[in-house]
């Protein structure tokens, strides 16, 4: 399998090179040269397979022969050590819970897969690699935990000061070891822009070998397609038209879902549910893609004004926006509606959702599904990570899981930076 830059001005690379580089020299995102649909026999038998077998069959073409079958299966066994359950709320509605990993966020799977792949590829390399990543909330904690103690890799995480939840901040600032947190006086977009600029800075490159663990990296992005296979395995017997509503910030998760559909997974429609950062919903209305500064919301992991992965989605539809709209919708919801949805889910189904999952639920409500459809919204983080908001909205108390208890009393350690010059100074010193 070869990967090419979506800017079309860099040489094609192998999967290993794409993982190590993170982003192409021309600033383009890497994309697989082809996507080969799986055999119909695979989908016929999917209910009889365990998650490890499903994952191997779904992901192996993207890895190619660069990781031998035995080693890739071992990596997947290590990565898939937790569950991805469907929780049914009524006969046509369910949520897919993606928060049962070590940091209780959907990004655990991608971060762990990338850490294992990168470690495999550099095991005989003497030079250390620096994983440089921006986070609007959950990416930082998942990457920090996934790469903690991995030999030959240092992790530098940029996060916007005061714009992640208290628990999210603890998860990315308290591990130490090979993990460093840089607290940026700005927004997530500022953090992401600094990361992209650093990859093009030859002076930094002469000091450090950089790669990214944001969903711009193929090893972080592609494994998310497995969520949709695991969901289908649990729901196939429904014999419905499946609609997935995905809380969307940088659009990596929903983009991976579309790749799953291209592999043959029978998904009828995708809904990208966003908060007030509505760049993509506005694009679908006007056909004009106009990035805007991100605004802070209670669903902070989605506070992205210029989602990196939307270019991959357009590429999957060969820039045909009319075709995209047949299979893809996007709606925006503000904080007031989000809180109402949290309350409605609890009062109607006794289900406690976090703000991101609540927005996914709103996407399904807005789309007005018929009886032939079955709606699934993704619950991408445990509600405890947004404890204050959820408890205040529901006037209840949420039990604190062990994964969160482990970090609550640890000491925060971060380095405050104000601009790109500060980041460059840190990376070059």
Residue 181 forms beta bridges with which residues?
157
Could you list the beta-strand ranges (E) of 127-279.
Answer: 129-134, 153-160, 179-184, 209-212, 241-247, 267-274
Task: Give the chain's end-to-end CA distance (angstroms, integer).
Answer: 37
Q: CB–CB of 382/401 below 8 Å?
A: yes
Type and span of the H or E element at 363: helix 355-367
Residues 6+ apart with CB under 8 A from 77: 52
Give Cβ neighbours of residue 324 (< 8 Å, ≥ 6 apart).
Answer: 313, 314, 317
* Residue 417: closest CA among 191, 206, 188: 191
Residue 126 annotated among the catalytic residues of the structure: no
**In this structure, how many other beta carbons lie within 10 angstroms of the beta carbon of residue 382?**
26
How many Å is the maximal CA-CA distance in the chain? 61
Residue 209, Ramachandran bin (φ over 0: left; ψ between -120 and 50: alpha; else beta): beta
Measured in degrees and rounded to the nearest 5, phi and psi for residue 276 equal -65, -10
CA–CA separation, 342 vs 292, rounded Å? 27
Among 21, 107, 339, 385, the one annotated catalytic: 107
Contacts of 272 (CB under 8 A, 6+ apart): 246, 248, 251, 254, 280, 281, 328, 329, 330, 331, 363
Query: CA-CA distance, 324 to 315, in Å (whole number)?
Result: 10
Q: How far is CA 377 from the centre of its chain?
A: 15
What are the residue numbers of the active site?
Answer: 107
């Amino acid at each position: 399998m070869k990967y090419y830059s979506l800017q079309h001005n860099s040489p094609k690379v192998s999967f290993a090179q794409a993982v190590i580089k993170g982003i192409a020299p021309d600033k383009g995102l890497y994309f697989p040269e082809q996507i080969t649909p799986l055999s119909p026999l695979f989908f016929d038998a999917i209910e009889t397979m365990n998650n490890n077998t499903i994952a191997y069959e779904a992901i192996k073409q993207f890895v190619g022969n660069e990781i031998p079958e035995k080693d890739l299966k071992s990596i997947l066994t290590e990565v898939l050590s937790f569950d991805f359950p469907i929780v049914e709320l009524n006969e046509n509605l369910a949520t897919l819970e993606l928060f049962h990993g070590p940091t209780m966020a959907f990004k655990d799977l991608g971060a762990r897969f990338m850490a294992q792949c990168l470690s495999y590829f550099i095991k005989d390399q003497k030079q250390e690699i620096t994983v440089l990543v921006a986070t609007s909330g959950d990416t930082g904690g998942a990457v920090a935990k996934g790469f903690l103690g991995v030999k030959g890799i240092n992790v530098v995480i940029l996060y916007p000061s005061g714009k992640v939840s208290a628990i999210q901040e603890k998860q990315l600032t308290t591990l130490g070891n090979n993990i460093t947190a840089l607290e940026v006086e700005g927004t997530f977009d500022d953090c992401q822009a600094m990361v992209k600029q650093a990859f093009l800075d030859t002076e930094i490159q002469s000091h450090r070998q950089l790669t990214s663990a944001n969903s711009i990296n193929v090893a972080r992005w592609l494994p998310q397609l497995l969520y949709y296979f695991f969901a289908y395995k649990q729901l196939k017997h429904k014999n419905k038209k499946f609609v997935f509503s995905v809380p969307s910030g940088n659009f990596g998760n929903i983009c991976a879902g579309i790749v799953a559909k291209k592999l043959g997974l029978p998904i009828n429609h995708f809904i990208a549910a966003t908060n007030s950062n509505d760049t993509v919903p506005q694009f679908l209305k006007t056909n004009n893609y106009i990035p805007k500064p991100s605004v802070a919301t209670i669903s902070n992991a989605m506070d992205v004004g210029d989602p990196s992965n939307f270019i991959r989605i357009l590429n999957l539809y060969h820039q045909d926006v009319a075709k995209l709209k047949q299979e893809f919708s996007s709606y925006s919801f503000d904080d007031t509606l989000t809180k109402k949805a949290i309350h409605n889910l609890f009062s109607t189904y006794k289900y406690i959702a976090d703000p991101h999952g609540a927005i996914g639920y709103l996407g399904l409500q807005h789309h007005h599904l018929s009886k032939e459809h079955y709606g699934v919204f993704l619950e991408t983080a445990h509600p405890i990570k947004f404890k204050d908001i959820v408890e205040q909205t529901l006037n209840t108390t949420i039990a604190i899981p062990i994964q969160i208890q482990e970090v609550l009393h640890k000491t925060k350690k971060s380095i405050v930076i104000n601009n790109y010059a500060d980041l460059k100074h840190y990376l070059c010193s």
